[in-house]
């Protein structure tokens, strides 16, 4: 079900079919849209409610969640603005669909905006599965993420996200008292079956 009339993001929503599962907020990578991660969400959390917005920034016609100045160089003022907008949408959608705080499942650009939302708006997300995330803000805000569970999965051969950058993000979350698990797989930037398995097991805990 796609809604464009009453909420601030074009999105797809699938209601839960299994009681008690945390809803997932699906956040696509560059060039994806609101349908992109639905199959992944269904695979890693069968029966969970799925809320999947489309990024509102276009780069060469490809949707993203915030602007970048170059590969790996973010427009941090825009990151903050778009994180505010996404946090507001999450609040709207929770009221519209009767949802508890969701767990973000984000890939690449979607993982980065999820990281920014958790840092700038603690409590809006219950946690996150961040696939190929990198540091979204060079000067991280002071935030208390106690009780927030985060799974980061990086690729050792990722040409876009240096492993050191991902480790810095994991350490930043740990410093904010989040419960962080960081896994590094022998893969590149693309997703693998191992990503799916890790996410599925982590979400089932």
Would you name the residues annotated as active-site residues?
108, 158, 189
CA atoms of 126 and 149, how far apart (whole Å): 7
- Would you report the helix, strand and coil content of the chain in percent, each value rounded to 5? 30, 25, 45
Please tell me whether residue 70 adopts helix, strand or coil conformation.
strand
> What are the residues whose beta carbons fall under 8 Å from the beta carbon of 205, sequence distance 6 or more?
none
Other Cβ atoms within 10 Å of 14 Cβ, number: 18
Helix (H, G, I), strand (E, B) or coil at 112: helix
Q: Kindly give, in sequence order, each residue whose CB lies less than 8 Å from that of residue 116, ignoring residues fewer than 6 positions away.
A: 66, 79, 80, 82, 83, 136, 137
């Amino acid at each position: 079900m796609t809604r464009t009339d009453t909420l601030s993001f074009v999105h797809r929503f699938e209601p839960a079919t299994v009681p008690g599962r945390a809803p997932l907020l699906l956040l696509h990578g560059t060039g994806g849209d609101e349908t992109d991660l639905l199959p992944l969400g269904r695979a890693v959390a069968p029966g969970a409610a799925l809320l999947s917005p489309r990024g509102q920034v276009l780069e060469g016609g490809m949707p993203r969640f915030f602007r970048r100045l170059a590969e790996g160089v973010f427009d941090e003022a825009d990151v903050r603005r778009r994180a505010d907008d996404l946090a507001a949408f999450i609040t709207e959608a929770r009221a519209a669909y009767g949802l508890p705080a969701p767990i973000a499942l984000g890939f690449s650009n979607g993982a980065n905006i999820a990281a920014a939302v958790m840092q700038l708006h603690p409590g809006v997300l219950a946690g996150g599965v961040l696939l190929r995330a990198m540091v979204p803000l060079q000067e991280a805000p002071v935030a208390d993420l106690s009780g927030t569970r985060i799974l980061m999965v990086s690729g050792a051969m990722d040409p876009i996200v240096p492993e050191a950058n991902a480790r810095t993000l994991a350490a930043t979350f740990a410093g904010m008292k989040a419960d962080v698990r960081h896994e590094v797989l022998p893969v590149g930037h693309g997703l693998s079956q191992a990503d799916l398995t890790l996410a599925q097991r982590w979400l089932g805990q």
